[in-house]
Amino acid sequence: MSTQRLIAADDFGGRWTILPPLKLRGVGTSLVESIPSYLNRVLWTTGVPMCHLASYVRKRCLPGAGNVRSFQKAEALSEIAISRMMELEALTGEDNLRCGSLWALSEIVSYNTSAYGGYRRQWCPQCYEDWSEESYEPLIWRIDLLGTCPKHGCRMECICRHCGKFQRDAWRTELRRICWSCGTSLAKGATWTKRSDFAEWIDGQIGQLVELCATPRGAPVPLSIYTDFAMGLRINAKNSGRRDTVMRLILRNIDRHARRNSRRPTLRSLLNMCALQGISAQELLCAPREVSGPMLVEQWPGMSYLPLPSAIQAQGIYAATKYLEDFLAKNPPFIPPINMLLRCFRIQLLAVRDVAAGIYDAYEERFLAQGGAIRRARLRRAFLYAQRLLMQRHSHIAVDADQVADAAAITLREASAVVKSARLMEETQAAECIERYRSELPLRSALDWFIEQRRFKRS
């Protein structure tokens, strides 16, 4: 069936629309239906292929809005996504379709891909098990910070319990409830576990924000809400007295980016600021200037990075802390700088220090004990040179300590220690070794682990 075919809608108020004017479910609630789920129902009702709908939209919206993959995104935070959503509203005659997205926050929240961290599709196994003709996938499932299903209280899942694969965004609803890799039903394995108060607080804040987005409104929440909050933070912190350098820089950057409209916060960083200030997201949106003072709740050591990583990032932080402990236990003859050692994990070092201060400080102490700044700089250059030789070598050629000693102007004994440590690092950072560390902590438990381990706690 072509999208050009008109479908009568006498049962829907006598309007004529290109697509049937189905109603978005859950409007005004935190369980509002997401736009992708809504489109699944529309396409199933009409039999229109997604490629036809995308082709139709492509001709009437901003460039990029007709990309088939982008139809599975529910943010509606960028101009391209908003233009696509407006066109879908015109095609269906459903004026409240925007309630199935984060459009209400589009003036405040960044449309950067990091708005949800590294997005992975997630679902509630119990919802899939109870699936019926009236069921749908809610918008709140699209936010990776959500830890438990608001309806059943069980853990949200993002990998198949049988094969451990992440799931694709299929259009056919029946295919979404089975694993694309092994064919196992995703409606099995629901678990209920006790979570920290902070994790439950985060789930509550997400529910509040989604409910705000699900409530019909004529315009998005204005940017001035966030600007007033950011300005108040800086003014109140300045009036509170001298601040640490990190705190001062963070507050200055928040204020500058807000005033210049050059960098809006992600959903994660918005909740972080609420947590640090000890307020709810609803309070921030209703009275931004009032809740911006007094000073932040606590100056915690990880202030320069976001304390709420995605589950995937949290799993990487766990792997890095375990590897750091194991590497130190092997008693390497040379201790390389910690940023070089943990580079392959692609995590911020302050995150490791925040959850494993003991092992982090022990490593730094051993690193500093290797000599003064000049000697450590020479050894660092030698270590980099040894690493480069190891990467370029053939299997039958050994790295020569004499060559490293001559190149870095260090003694042969120092060069030998550097080469041994470089070889140890290469062996222990093989892909299968890193994956083994990651597999020790299930992805569904990673964020809870991080929240429980970190130093910062809500009061």
Coil/strand/helix, residue 374: helix
Whether 401 contacts 416, CB under 8 Å: yes
Q: What is the pLDDT of residues 230-266, one digit of tens each?
A: 888 777 766 665 555 556 666 666 766 666 665 678 7
Closest CA to 198 of 446, 456, 443, 441: 456
Average pLDDT value for residue range 81-96: 91
Cβ partners under 8 Å of residue 370, min gap 6: 334, 335, 376, 379
pTM of the model: 0.74
Cβ partners under 8 Å of residue 219, min gap 6: none
pLDDT greater at residue 365 or residue 111: 365
Angle of the 267-277 helix axis to the 224-239 helix axis, nearest 10 = 40
Q: What is the pLDDT of residues 299-327, one digit of tens each?
A: 444 444 556 777 788 899 999 999 999 99
Q: What is the pLDDT of residues 337-375, one digit of tens each?
A: 999 999 988 888 878 887 888 899 999 999 999 999 999
- Distance in angstroms (rounded) separating the CA atoms of residues 93 and 416: 74
- pLDDT value for 30: 94
- pLDDT value for 459: 37
Domain chopping of the chain, boundaries: 7-105, 222-292, 311-453
Whether 419 contacts 379, CB under 8 Å: no
Q: How many helices (H) and strands (E) does the chain have?
A: 19, 2
- Distance in angstroms (rounded) separating the CA atoms of residues 28 and 23: 13
- pLDDT value for 35: 93
- Distance in angstroms (rounded) separating the CA atoms of residues 55 and 333: 62
Name the token pair of 132: 């019926």
What share of the chain has pLDDT > 70, as a percent? 83
pLDDT greater at residue 141 or residue 78: 141
pLDDT greater at residue 412 or residue 307: 412
